[in-house]
Chains A and B, each alone.
Chain A
Amino acid sequence: MGKNVLLIEDEPHIAEAIRYVLTRDGWQVASHAYGGDAIEVIRRSPPDVLVLDVMLPGRSGHEILADLRRDPAFSDLPVLVLSARGLQHMPEGATRVMAKPFANAEMVSAVRAIADARGARK
């Protein structure tokens, strides 16, 4: 399967760090910082894995995720949700959730794991 990750994260330094870490692990990383039009960006170039922050300007990660899951084309897209609110409530539709702050190794293994799980099903 492909190795394209799309990262929706409005904090530029966090985005830069994630991008660097995933790139070193062999992923093609594209990133986007605004929630309002994130869904169009995802539709335009569908990634293999989506890393989605919850607190985004314009539109929250929860809403974006709900929209995605309603679309048959993205119903099984692996989505890693980044949450600053702890892990008590797993957002509906998330493949996996990760609390901020996180270790870089966790990020890499989480992205690999959810991509592999999908690959295995296909």
Chain B
Amino acid sequence: MARSALTGTRVRERRLRIGMKQADLARSSGISPAYLNLIEHNRRRVGAALLTALAAALGIEEAALAEGAESALMEGLREAAAGAAGAETVPEIARIEEFVSRFPGWAELLSARQARVGALERAVEALSERMAHDPFLSASLHEVLSAATSVRSTAAILAESEDIDPIWRERFHGNIFDDSTRLSEAAQALVTFMDTTEAGETGLSSPQEEVEAWLARTEYHLAALERSHPPAAEALIAGVPELATGAARTLALAHITRYRADALALPLEPFQRAVAELGADPAALSARFGVAPSAIFRRLVTLPKAAAPALGMVVCDASGGVTFRRPLPGFSLPRHGAGCPLWPLYEVLARPAVLVRLPVEMAGRVPQRFVLHAFAETSHPGGYDGPQVIAAMMLIQPALTPRSGGERPVGPACRICPRAACVARREPSILIGSGA
């Protein structure tokens, strides 16, 4: 049976399944039956302490109640609310759960519309950026205008002057001839440019998103690359529908090359055995195999589904730009722009080669705990004279140990983060000061 995204509904489902009375659950959780009733109908929010009590009384893990509370649907609705900033009527962000529970169809529709608006906004942005900054387009248009200017002025001289000197006339004829050739060549180049621009490259999704969609379908595991004689990388991505653009295929090829190198350094079978023995512990696995933590990170998030612990990962470059993301439920990773400045992902950019482990509590309706592993690696692909290239990566692991109180409070991107007192905040949150 499909599990509801709403904590209240889950509490009710679990209670009914184990045949517990509402009054009994209320008593053992220290709340009134009326209040529990409101919770079960998603009319009241469940705080962290109450969630712990409810989970204990119901005999299940907290996560089983909390998981999904930060579902894609909620996230989409919050984004929609963020987009309404400045509107006259403020959306009732504090009552999102109620909205979802009472009007699931409308909530789905609004969330889907929001995703569509986001995609279209990015497409417009990409296209206008392209018009404004494409050097070829701008140079070609300048060429066309220059040639047209010259042809027009020169032709006008020939057409309007009756007493023109034969030597000048000759010269102007020559100029017109040259410029008309130039004009047609520039026009031709423009047409070719427009024609060869792939139809799919509308910017409706970024190349990274295309690669992500492809990897999500394969559950990030590329079984063909684990064989001793894998097929050619090009054959592997031929005809893959998600990889519609040339840019996405280029990224996919780079991913395959890296994947294959990791698979050779850490063959699947012994690696899986070691993970079963040591757990998803990058430090221990790195020591066991004598391989850099970066390869361990990548290998851990690309294991076959059956053997894989639930892990997420995000990789960024020195600018903080995300180059790889594997989302994990409950830990929201930004699709565009930066994440939470308190993530160790960004800290390790300043401390390359240091392996960092950090227990955190992700802000949310129901805070969830994770253990984050971060590592940054530098390389010099251009030799001594080239720039140092740095990649920072962060592995996201659900916390397996009880709350210690020492977890660092982190959040999703600032705009949808509820931590009012955060000193590292870079922009106001839509969740604060909204009565939430």
Give A contacts to B, CB under 8 Å: 11, 13-14, 16-18, 20-21, 24, 55, 84, 100-104, 107
Contacts and interface: CB of A to CB of B under 8 A. Distances in A.
Contact of A17 (B142, B145, B153, B178): B153
B168 A20 contact: yes
Contacts of B149: 11, 14, 84, 100-102
Interface size class of B (residues with CB under 8 A): 20 to 34
Nearest to B159: A104
B161 interface: yes
B150 A104 contact: no
Given A17-B150, A101-B149, A104-B160, 7 more contacts: A16-B171, A18-B153, A24-B161, A84-B141, A84-B146, A102-B149, A104-B156
B188 to A, nearest CB: 19
Contacts of A13: 150, 154, 175, 178-179
B305 interface: no
Contacts, number: 55
A20 B156 CA distance: 11
19 contacts: A11-B146, A13-B154, A13-B175, A14-B153, A16-B171, A16-B172, A16-B175, A20-B172, A21-B157, A55-B142, A84-B142, A100-B146, A100-B148, A101-B148, A101-B151, A101-B153, A102-B149, A102-B153, A104-B157
A103 B156 CA distance: 8
Contacts of A20: 157, 168, 172
Nearest to A103: B156
A57 to B, nearest CB: 12
B142 A21 contact: no
A-B complex: 8 closest residue pairs judged by Cβ atoms? A17-B153, A101-B149, A13-B150, A100-B149, A101-B152, A84-B145, A13-B175, A104-B156
A14 B157 contact: no
B168 A14 contact: no
Contacts of B153: 14, 17-18, 21, 101-102, 104, 107
A84 B143 CA distance: 10
B145 A100 contact: yes
A101 B145 contact: yes
Contacts of B150: 11, 13-14, 17
Contacts of A17: 150, 153-154, 157, 172, 175
Contacts of B152: 101-103
A14 B178 CA distance: 12
Nearest to B144: A84
